[in-house]
Amino acid sequence: MMRTIHLVSQAVMVTFALLVMLGSPATAQTGLIDVNMASEAQLAQQPHMTPAIAKDLVAHRPFKTVVDFNKFLLDQKLTQAQATELYRKAFVKINLNTGTKDEFMLIPGVGARMSAEFAEYRPWKSWAQFDKEIGKYVGQQETDRFKQYVFIPGI
């Protein structure tokens, strides 16, 4: 009897570990690449990037703001729509307390209305505050997505 319980509990633990391992790559895929930190090889694999653009990008780093990065991409003959598609994978994070409207509006899914909300609730002091104030407009799932694109200094 004890042996059966032991075997069942081991099977449960192994299954749980497998599920966690299988789940990890998917979670990692949702994370954004920091354009200023990523390797040239990583950058070259992103949407609308070529090895030549990736090389040039590395040579131009660091980008102070995502607006600078956006200008670089447009100079490389990417369209704004292509750049926006790239921003779903790679970005230059924005300081929530000092970011400009132009910076916020480069976050996919953020327009004038949401960028005004980002500015209105300054100073941002915690992620809990961000969850509360932004979550009420677009729900927690979108709020979590926005959090990948911004940072609160000191947190």
CB 11, min distance to another protein, A: 40
Among 135, 147, 148, 152, which residue sits at the site for another protein (rule: CB under 8 A)?
A: 135
Alpha-carbon gap, residue 49 to 127, rounded angstroms? 32
Q: Is residue 136 close enough to count as binding another protein by CB under 8 A?
A: yes
Nearest of 83, 74, 119 to residue 101 by alpha carbon: 119
Site string for another protein, 34-53 (x = CB under 8 A): --------------------
Give the residue with the Cβ less far from another protein, 56 or 117: 117
Q: Is residue 119 close enough to count as binding another protein by CB under 8 A?
A: no
Q: Is residue 123 close enough to count as binding another protein by CB under 8 A?
A: no
Q: Is residue 85 close enough to count as binding another protein by CB under 8 A?
A: no
Alpha-carbon gap, residue 56 to 100, rounded angstroms? 26
- Angle, helices 66-75 vs 80-87, to 10°: value is 130
Type of residue numbered 96:
L
